[in-house]
Chain A
């Protein structure tokens, strides 16, 4: 080929390696693996997710895992079972056992039991299911909604942008708690449910995600390859899906990871206030709520769910920080 004459291989292997290490998700993963902080975050998240997965796969799995637990305690601990008759009378907290390292503790209930005599360890493990999945679901809702709104507003600009962003600002002005109360009251007819917490928190997050992605889209939109795609006759929908979103997604992804921790906290707070998961479903927030009445008799009841929340959030935050560094093109090797 005649054009080929202008090309001479000139042994620039190092350049290639250097260049290779600059973009792409694969490279991001590589960087995360090298980052100790992010790696620990990843371990924690992996652990929490694994625990959640266990409880989803088989609600009786703990039978095999914790053979030492008495059948009774296990049955008591399972979320689906309700034992109102075993609720202790106020002031009488005899049925709750302290953790195993306590003088009165026993190996069969490693973290003790709650005032109903349900194994606390099992409840913490099952609590992850609600807390983590609600946290992720609500964040995901916000992420998807926000990305759609932000990408459309940013790409089209003009009056579409104006309308969407004004609407978003209106939502932004409403506190999530009010949104959830409104849902609870008008949609479910007054009975609180964890689903409304998810939707409420999710909607409340849309504006933040939308703003982040919009600002990113505004700069990506100016790139020549967007214009090139338009000049080539690519449909708007495909430009948004193939070019705009993949190239403006990194910052929201980081934000979402950090946000999952916050969401777990918010949902726990809502449960604590009685708007989230309802007893007897175990949820860390709900458990904090129930246990705060026993602060004096058994402080461990508050410590365990608090610790669980803290560790999970820490995991997401560490990972989020690492992801941010890994996605930052300025931080390179």
Chain B
């Protein structure tokens, strides 16, 4: 590879114009096997014949994700812990083997590149890590750390590498005289700058930033973010910026993708996404962030329940089990009010959030005294019958069974009939801000 010194801002990807797609991810999947070892996956199940099961339970960390990243932009990837955003970032870099799908980077499919080809490609794609503590080898000097990628790609000679490393130190806002220091002599923010210098050393086009500022104090965060923006401009970098902090995402991104349980649920221009969110999960996220302004107030936990297991994610829309706007099943006639009440009742039964009470109390508590009309009403009545204290037998065991029965009845009749459960959503919406496509995976837009 030829890199003219000093720091050229010349790009090896100049054949791709700014704004054109640099990375295209299509149908990417990453499943993890639950455990490893010689006899992994073999489980004993006495309820079947033969009683040995070799099927593996697989964690669907990233499940069928498609998007593109354009040259020169910052794509923000936001989601809560466990949603698969870090896994997605690592899979794009092929630090993890994709289970399925393609990752098109400047015409090559990274997913199918073999060992040495892939290794050489790594000079064009780099990564910045979250933990400034563990991302630098404590036994190496800062100079060695920054030069390592160059050495791996046979870039420059020893002197050239040292010269370049020192220039990079200066670029990221450190003292070139620190070349011979060990990482522990640096503070968190400075280590993150060393991380930046290392990533930049081989003149990459694309950098995956995995929560690069979340371990830093607020005031230091701002310093590092500003440096990252400056470098992006100077070197024409493209960032995939992974973070859980919506404020940081809003500040640095051009476009934003929101992830939930292995899927991208919404992707739009930053302004559009924050001002005109179209997926209930995005809305919930935005409503939950505490705003540093007491007059804005009332940022509250609008979401109930917890994220389901990625081993058996819900069918259809993955957010449906917690969605405050789950769509009523089409086959019944509902008024909005009655459907809201039924949904609340269904979830309360499912999560057992209330203490057992009598038939009458249940009706009043959840339905204001009147059950829904027609068939749904009959189903609800049946469920109430099962759990109400004045119908159930006193024995604890039986009550448990009856609760389960009521839960299944309600879920089967309502939740699993909804379009949210039967079809996977994917809709494109007319944006209100800007002109970029607005993708939202929610059936409300059907």
Contact = CB atoms under 8 A, between A and B. Distances in A.
Q: Are chains A and B touching directly in their complex (CB below 8 angstroms)?
A: yes
Interface of A: 1-4, 6-7, 16, 19-20, 22-24, 157-159, 162, 223-225, 227-235, 238, 242-243, 246-247
B26 interface: no
B230 A238 contact: no
Contact of A243 (B36, B93, B137): B137
A231 B127 contact: yes
Nearest to B133: A224
Contacts of A24: 139, 182
A158 B40 CA distance: 11
B173 A3 contact: yes
B223 A6 contact: yes
Contacts, number: 95
5 smallest beta-carbon distances between A and B, as pairs = A233-B122, A3-B173, A232-B149, A224-B135, A6-B223
A47 to B, nearest CB: 31
Contact of A23 (B90, B129, B182): B182
A231 B95 contact: yes
A230 B138 contact: no
Interface string B22-36: 000000000000001
A237 B348 CA distance: 56
B129 A230 contact: no
16 contacts: A1-B171, A23-B138, A24-B182, A157-B36, A224-B131, A225-B136, A225-B137, A229-B137, A231-B122, A231-B127, A232-B126, A233-B119, A233-B152, A234-B148, A235-B119, A247-B138
Nearest to A163: B38
A36 B149 CA distance: 43
Contacts of B119: 233, 235
Interface in B194-246: 195, 198, 202, 223, 226-227, 230
Contacts of A1: 170-171, 173
B113 to A, nearest CB: 12
Contacts of B223: 6
B149 A233 contact: yes
Contacts of A224: 129-131, 134-135
Nearest to A166: B38
Interface of B: 36-38, 90, 93, 95, 119-123, 125-127, 129-131, 134-140, 148-149, 152-153, 170-174, 182, 184-185, 195, 198, 202, 223, 226-227, 230
B185 A20 contact: yes
Nearest to B208: A231
Contact of A228 (B38, B129, B171, B184): B129
B184 A231 contact: no
Contacts of B136: 225, 228
A87 to B, nearest CB: 57
Q: Which of A3, A228, A238 has the largest number of chain B CB atoms within 10 A?
A: A228
A283 B172 CA distance: 62
A235 to B, nearest CB: 7
A54 to B, nearest CB: 36
B171 A3 contact: yes
A233 B223 CA distance: 29
Contacts of B140: 242
A235 B116 CA distance: 9
A318 B129 CA distance: 41
Contact of B123 (A3, A4, A233, A246): A233
Contact of B185 (A7, A16, A228, A246): A16
Contacts of B195: 228
A28 to B, nearest CB: 12
Contact of B93 (A157, A229, A231, A238): A231
A247 B138 CA distance: 8
Given A1-B173, A2-B230, A246-B139, 9 more contacts: A4-B173, A6-B226, A19-B185, A20-B184, A22-B184, A224-B134, A228-B129, A233-B122, A235-B152
A229 B123 CA distance: 11
A24 B139 CA distance: 6
Contacts of A242: 137, 140, 148
B198 A6 contact: no
Q: Which of A3, A22, A162, A235 has the largest number of chain B CB atoms within 10 A?
A: A3
B126 A231 contact: yes
Q: Which of A4, A227, A233 has the largest number of chain B CB atoms within 10 A?
A: A233
B315 to A, nearest CB: 32
A189 to B, nearest CB: 39
Contacts of B172: 3
A1 B174 CA distance: 10
A48 to B, nearest CB: 30
Contacts of A238: 152
A116 B112 CA distance: 76
B173 A227 contact: no
Nearest to A20: B185
